[in-house]
Chain A
């Protein structure tokens, strides 16, 4: 505060500051405090905001679903919100730490004005939150292949959370100035967030009362986004009013506080209402998908998709075309149908909540299994699983070389294709589905190689299903086979394509071994031999069960 401002404030300072309506001098003090404290908050917020920016522009997914991304955008600001909460608390309690609290009583800066200043200072990290969100939106729309539409009220959640955290920090500092308080508050909020983002609360309206909720199941569990935003704004107002009320209750504050409480309660009630219409539509997606799907043909392939997920299929078309480009024309499966279904991947976070979601007919009580109808069934949500693109390509490859496309729908068993050349070819074809598909296979091999379950058993006996949350392809290969496929993927694609096309009849035969394929392709032959007692090292036993050798 400049000397002139201080003099003016001292002249106009009320004898009993903090009572009645705020005077112009209090506003001036609040503004001056806000200017100074905003700089402190800005300094504390730079690193978390930078991390938020990194999170926004990093990644590089092929497909980004904008509704889901809108829900998740607030995640990038959670650290900024936590830092703002702690920094606000530390700013308000700085005088207490320095032992200068009593000195403030002798100045023309009443506590209410200082609290107001701290609350105003929260606008700076909030604006940083807006910038991070704006950059995030720009990155989403420009970097990846966007699908669906942005939900603006969800995008606003992040900056509002930052504002709310700052106001909560000020309120807590006025209520409990102990240094541990903000950390405990962050801990309790984190516990609530972790607790509610579990399947247990998947079908509960209570889920929406926490500040940020993962948006993975947006199509099945939609939130009343506008009501949630109003609810958060109400909470922010309550925290701000609560902080100021500590210095004395005025009629105006009481009115604003009562209004904030009423708005918050109503908005909470609205967002907790269960979306019955939405669930009826979801019922149809489970029970009779063909009745609500739209179908079209392209390059001899028939595609069918749910209307809201039509854009995802454009990406799937690209994956199919990429695999087709390296497949000999005579081997290409015809006719081919690619039909969207609700898969295990779509329900990853809802699986154990099936009992809660019992209103959805045909909701699986266990894992969703894909029908064995000869068609390919991509999921609704696409692009976030490490092996999803590889998986679709491998299913296409399996269909091309005559291996099962899905595990046995009745038993869930996959057949053993260890040491079979055609299984390696299927993996190689799948690895061409997208630029990242090969990395997905490498990730699976690395994961299987490091699996703790392999301890005590020879890693040579470990077999690899193409699976993450869902199982792609109805077969497993040995780790040597998977490494051979990776080696082929590293080689010049046109050269390998030409060699495979030349010997297609041989390599697609069930009796041809992967060692023979290696010789034909001119790569080092795996020396390990076939596993003696095959086991899956790194997967949930319920996910993949081993069956008989593939015929």
Chain B
């Protein structure tokens, strides 16, 4: 635990915060451009777009190029990833809270349902992070962005199948909120499972003992000596 706490400043320094900063700047720019203080209604489509951008920024911030090098450090993989995830989630949450506070303070949310948007945002963020943790930040961000954009495009033709209803109150709006809640929960669970230290996983004898082409046993790269 102490080692994990000590790892926080170092992990924060090693993370790629630039994408996150640019995404946050875009959120601010978008809110300012829509001039909510003049009574202009905020666009739900643009709000969702910025959520996706923040999620991509968070996914890229999770990219851990040194993961292999430090795989056998005394701090377990779960803690290392937990610190990285916590920092990214804290950053995204800070951006979201500030944006929501700014929008709420102007009192002109228009048709944008902020509570639903938070659920959707949590689902989007956790999905991006789970993908990023599973396949790497850069590739995860790519898969996430393509998948989500694909869903948005398909929505135009088949709205009934969509996770993104056209407007609050449209058919499918209630179900979509539920779906995003499920996505958030499943992604959080996936993040936990992916981040578990390989040493703590149950491994069958078959998978633990690997052989090369000559039939000789090989050593796993995930060493458990620091357990």
Contact = CB atoms under 8 A, between A and B. Distances in A.
Contacts of A104: none
A184 interface: yes
Interface in A391-409: none
B224 interface: no
Given A97-B138, A179-B141, A194-B45, A51 B150 contact: yes
Most buried by A among B23, B57, B63, B145: B145
Interface string A66-91: 00000000011011001100110010
A237 B169 CA distance: 45
A180 B171 contact: no
Contact of B169 (A48, A87, A180, A452): A452
Nearest to A83: B146
Nearest to B21: A180
A54 to B, nearest CB: 7
Interface residues of B, number: 37
B49 A190 contact: yes
Contacts of B63: 179
Nearest to A454: B169
Max chain A Cβ within 10 angstroms of own Cβ: one of B56, B60, B153 = B153
B19 A450 contact: no
Given A194-B46, A452-B168, A79 B150 contact: yes
Given A48-B150, A75-B156, A79-B150, A187 B171 contact: no
B171 A447 contact: yes
Interface string A182-198: 01101100110010000
A47 interface: yes
A180 B142 CA distance: 10
Nearest to B170: A447
A178 B157 contact: no
A59 interface: yes
A186 B52 CA distance: 11
A450 B173 contact: yes
Given A90-B138, A179-B60, A51 B170 contact: no
Given A447-B171, A453-B169, A183 B49 contact: no
B135 to A, nearest CB: 13
A58 interface: yes
A69 to B, nearest CB: 13
A185 B43 CA distance: 20
A470 B198 CA distance: 61
Interface string B50-64: 101100110010010
A209 interface: no
Interface string A34-63: 000000000010011001001100110000
Given A55-B153, A90-B138, A452-B169, A183 B174 contact: no
B19 A179 contact: yes
B154 to A, nearest CB: 6
Interface string B7-27: 000000000101100110010
A54 B53 contact: no
Interface residues of A, number: 36
A55 B153 CA distance: 9
Given A79-B150, A179-B138, A538-B169, A184 B26 contact: yes
A79 B153 contact: yes
A469 B75 CA distance: 60
Contacts of B168: 452
A12 interface: no
A150 interface: no
B226 interface: no
A144 to B, nearest CB: 14
A435 interface: no
Interface in B81-125: none
B25 to A, nearest CB: 10
A446 B171 contact: yes
B183 interface: no
B149 A79 contact: yes
Interface in A432-489: 443, 446-447, 450-453
B119 to A, nearest CB: 16
B30 interface: yes
B227 to A, nearest CB: 31
Nearest to A443: B171
Interface string A179-219: 11001101100110010000000000000000000000000
Contacts of B146: 44, 47-48, 79, 82-83, 86
B129 to A, nearest CB: 15
- Of A51, A76, A443, the most chain B CB neighbours within 10 A belong to A51
Contact of B53 (A79, A178, A183): A183
A130 to B, nearest CB: 19
Contact of A451 (B23, B60, B142, B169): B169
A55 B168 CA distance: 24
Given A179-B141, A446-B171, A184 B22 contact: yes
Contacts of A446: 171
A216 to B, nearest CB: 13
B145 A186 contact: yes
Nearest to B46: A194
Contacts of A54: 154, 157
A87 B171 CA distance: 35
A87 B142 CA distance: 8
A444 to B, nearest CB: 10
Contact of B141 (A79, A87, A183): A183
A86 B154 CA distance: 19
Contacts of B149: 79, 82-83, 186
Interface in B61-82: 63
B57 A180 contact: yes
Contact of B49 (A180, A194, A451): A194
A187 B26 CA distance: 9
A76 B157 CA distance: 10
B174 to A, nearest CB: 7
A178 B19 contact: yes
Interface of A: 44, 47-48, 51, 54-55, 58-59, 75-76, 78-79, 82-83, 86-87, 90, 97, 178-180, 183-184, 186-187, 190-191, 194, 443, 446-447, 450-453, 538
13 contacts: A55-B156, A79-B150, A82-B145, A90-B138, A90-B142, A179-B60, A183-B53, A184-B53, A187-B52, A443-B171, A447-B170, A450-B169, A451-B169
Given A179-B19, A187-B26, A443-B171, 16 more contacts: A55-B153, A75-B156, A76-B153, A82-B145, A82-B149, A83-B149, A179-B138, A180-B18, A183-B19, A187-B53, A191-B46, A194-B43, A194-B49, A446-B171, A452-B169, A538-B169
Interface of B: 16, 18-19, 22-23, 26, 30, 43, 45-46, 49-50, 52-53, 56-57, 60, 63, 137-138, 141-142, 145-146, 149-150, 153-154, 156-158, 168-171, 173-174
